[in-house]
Every structure is written in C-alpha cells, then in structure tokens.
Structure 1
Amino acid sequence: MLARALEPVRDRSGTQVSVAVLEPRNGRRAVYGSQEHITASLAKVNILAALLLRAQREERSLTLWETSAAAEMIRSSDNDAANALWRRIGGGEGLTEANRILGLTSTQAGPGAHWGLTRTTAADQLALLSAVFAGPSPLSEDSRRLIQTLMGQIDADQDWGVSAAGTRWQLKNGWLQRRVSQRWAINSMGRVRAHGHTFYLVVLTHGSRSMSHGISTVERAAESAVHALRGTPLPVAPIIP
C-alpha cells in the first residue's frame, strides 16, 4: 500500500526516500524503506529527548540556560545551541544511552562533535515520535509537553516538510548538503492533523540535487503516506525540479 503510493514520488524525484507513518488512534502503521539516512538537524529532537532523560534521572528540571538553548535548537534549528547541548548530554555516548531507553535500535550517533551525521531509519524516528507524543513513555509528561510545544513553534521559514500533509502540525526538519557529492539530505518528521485524524509522520531522503527539490520530494511523500494510510487517492501534483 505505502510502497505503491510512493512509487511515483521515487520515480519522478530520483531521490532515495524512506517513510514511516502511524495513526495513533487505531494503531495503523506503515513503513517504507529500511535504509539508514543521516539525520542532519532532525537529530536535535533526539538531543533534547536525551537531555530531558538525563534531567529526569537527576531528579531536576532543566536549568534556565538549558531551556533557552533547547528553544533555540528546536524553534530556530540553531546549531550553536545544538553543539552546546550535545556536549551537555555527553555527545554520542549520551545519545546512544538515551536511545537504549527510548527504544531506538537502528540509530548510530554521529562521530565526535558531528551530531548531524547521526544515522537513523524512518522506523526509529517514528519510535522517537511515539515517545514524544504518546504515553506510556520513558519521557515524563512535562518532558513530552516541552518537546511538543517547541515543535509547534518552529520559525516561519522552516514551516515545510510534513506540514504539507495537514492543517495543524508540530515538526522538526533537517537539511544538509554533502560535501563530496553536493547532493542534499532533506528530512522532516512530526505530528500532523489531516482530514480529521492525527498522524505521526517521518520522511527521510538523500540524493536530491537541490534543497528545493528535496523539500518538494519530502512534501509529496508526506502527502502520499497520509493518503495511503487512509486509503484515499492522492491528487496529482508535480515535484519541483
């Protein structure tokens, strides 16, 4: 079902695409693509979840500085804030420890300071979304509420990706141009409200020849995934070249 819906997207874009979608109300779930993708700034949600788990373990709230850095990292995708919080959680080791608790089994933390080179699968990021938006979860209710709030306050210039599939959304995007190939990794994940239903949605891509092409591919894949899970046809729309 999902593979058939995404076939036109894959064929027309020439981009490697992985998608995971869940309708939490009834548990309907579909995953397309098991390959690993680099997260780019998508890792920032994972970093914040790791920070909150650390604070929970220490039986404390986030400090004012941590709260401010988290807001900058998620709302504006600020890399300096992410660098600082990456160090605060203990880098890759801290992320790996948190992911064991969160149930992410196919995510490999980026080397050294390179959190954006963390590798993951669509299924793992769907597991992370479920931990953020639904209970029971290793994240406390207050921790989940903070992440949800920040993902609903993304800067206006970053309102793209899975938001194309719905009218209400909470999301985080990631984008990175690879140095050698000059191709783009474009990712998006979040909770969207579409056609009166709620969906958790992840789209990971790599190999796009431009950022705009990658965004168009992600948005088309997001719309296709929601329609596939609902069993409704998707209106024909082009992918930006």
Structure 2
Amino acid sequence: MGSAHAATPQAAICTSDQPGLADKLSEDINAALDGSTATTAISLHDRTTNTTCTLDADRTFDSASTVKVTVLGTLLWDAQKDGRALTQEEKDRATAMITKSDNDATTALWKQLGADKINGFLQAAGMTDTVLDGEGHWGLTQITANDEEKLLNLVTHANPVLSEDSRGYILKLTSEVIPSQRWGTPAGAPGDAQVHVKNGWLERATNGWRVHSLGAFTGGDHDYTITVLSQDNATMDDGIANIEGVARAVHRDLNAPASSAR
C-alpha cells in the first residue's frame, strides 16, 4: 500500500558483537518502515553490545529544530574556551531553546555565536557533513544522521570537545523537554532508562514535512543513542508514527535477553 513509491528503498545495515542482534535489528527496522512513503535516514549506536545500524545515514536534511543541540554545544564549547560559566540570560535562553524548542531564544543565541563559532564547533566535533544555511536560517542547516550521532556520542561520553559539566548540562536539558515534545525516539524506551530527546519538525513546499528525532538513553545498563531523520511525510503525525515505529523496534531488540536475538 504505497510501498511501490517508498522513498527509502535501502535496507538498514547493522553490526553487533552480540550474536544474532544485527540481523534481528535489520529485519525489524526494515519491517517498521515497510509501506512508508517517507525518506528516512537512521543512525544508532549501542555501546553495551557494540551495535550500530545505519540507513541512508549520509543523506542531508533540513535540520529544523534538531540543530538546537548543536547551538547549545557551540555555546558551551565557546564558554569553555573562554574559561567562563554561562550567564543567566544564556541559561534562560538555552533552557527555553531545548525544553520548549523556543525559536526566539534560538535565534538570539545563533546571532550571538555567529557562523564562525558554530562552524568551529562542528569541526571540533567531526561533524564534517553539516552545512550552515548561506542566508543564516538556522532551521535550514543541512544535517545527516551520521553527524547527529557524532553529536550524541559527544554528549554522552567523555571527550576533549565538551567538558563533563557541559555534557551534563546538555543531558539535563534534553531530559526536561516538555511532554508534548517527547515523541519520536523515546517511544518504547525501557522504564528504567533516562530519556534525553530533541526533536525537529518543519513543513516546506517541497518534500513535505521534515520530522526528526534525536534520542539518548542512559542509566541502568542502557548506553545507546538513536537518530532518525525524515522528509516527504504527508503530515507531521505521519512522520512521528514513522519514527516511533522504528524506535519501538530498536528499544525492543536492544533490551531483549541475548538468547532471544535470532
């Protein structure tokens, strides 16, 4: 039903140190996308089992509000270099930008930082396929699933780019996103996981709705990140359902007993 026109004909490719898990994930992710007419890109990494899955992960998409994590990363990285804490105004804007996806706060921080600093952070983070919009529209930043996974990896694990305090601040804010914006990759997450999420959504005249979700899942025995980017969704709800189908499959497979993977 529409699958003949599906824009994501590729299959998810997974690898894992856990026997059977890669094949199970590939099968279940592909089944979740069966019949979807959206163009979908996926990149995920589970450190516990050294599992990765990718699907069209180098395809570029308009970022919409997912770029707000990059803005916050740049703000903290720049403050680190200056050896200073964030001002109260910066904290207020960062909180609004991440927890409520406030666009005015984002624009203020984007203008404060400027393209040079944002590009500097992207270079430091190894996000070499992420390209800022030439006219300065932050929501039209070109992103890839692989680059967003690099960012989530920086946020969740020690590295020379973001300090422990900076990483903790990003994790804190992304765990406090308002309920109405906690859709997407958190769908089906285990109850004992600490959920961190930032989503993006944007409708344009071409390629329909862009609907994206970045998720990190920590605490307990959980240590994994999921990026799903999509466009050509007829509605925002279609995009959310598409992402949540993938997310439920991933959470189920990563958290199943090892003996059940086959």
Structure 1: 5+ residue runs without aligned partners? 234-241
Deviation at 1:165, TM superposition (A): 3.2
CA distance in 2, matches of 1:111, 1:226: 37
Report if the CA contact (8 A) 1:21-1:225 is conserved.
no
Q: Percent identity?
A: 31
Indicate whether 1:67 and 2:75 are aligned. no
Q: Report the alpha carbon displacement of residue 21 of structure 1 after superposing the two structures with TM.
A: 1.1
Q: Tell me if 1:201 matches 2:226.
A: yes
2:140 aligned residue: 117
Q: Aligned residue for 1:138?
A: 161
Quote how far apart the aligned CAs of 1:156 are. Answer: 1.1
Q: Are 1:23 and 2:46 matched, yes or no?
A: yes
Partners of 1:127 and 1:37 lie apart in 2 by 16
> Relative to structure 1, is the Cα distance of residues 220 and 194 closer, same or farther in structure 2, using a 3 angstrom cutoff?
farther
Amino acid at match of 1:158: Q
- Which string of whole-angstrom CA distances, capped at 9 and with x for unpartnered residues, describes residues 203-240 of structure 1? 1011100010100001112223344556867xxxxxxx
- Which of 245, 258, 262 is equivalent to 1:220? 245
Equivalent residue, structure 1, for 2:35: 12
Give the whole-Å Cα distance in 2 for the aligned partners of 1:184 and 1:221: 18
Question: Quick one: which amino acid aligns to residue 246 of structure 2?
Answer: A
2:208 aligned residue (174, 183, 198): 183
With normalisation by structure 1, the TM-score equals 0.89
Q: Which runs of 5+ in 2 are unaligned?
A: 1-22
Structure 2 residue aligned with 1:170: 196
- Deviation per residue, 1:125-155 (Å, 9 max, x gap): 0110010111124100111111000000001
Deviation per CA, 1:166-197: give whole Å up to 9, x if none: 0331110000001x237100000121259953
Cα separation, partners in 2 of 1:196 and 1:139, compared to 1, 3 Å: closer
Q: Which of the pair has more CA radius of gyration?
A: 2
What's the TM-score, normalizing by structure 2?
0.82
Equivalent position SS for 1:165: coil
Q: Write the letter of the residue equivalent to 1:15.
A: A
The residue type equivalent to 1:202 in the other structure is T
Q: CA contact under 8 A between 1:174 and 1:186: conserved in structure 2?
A: yes
Contact 2:207-2:231 at 8 Å conserved across structures: no
The letter of the residue matching 2:182 is D
Q: Deviations over 1:66-91 (max 9, x none)?
A: 0110000000000000000001111x
RMSD: 2.0
Q: Report the number of matched residues.
A: 231
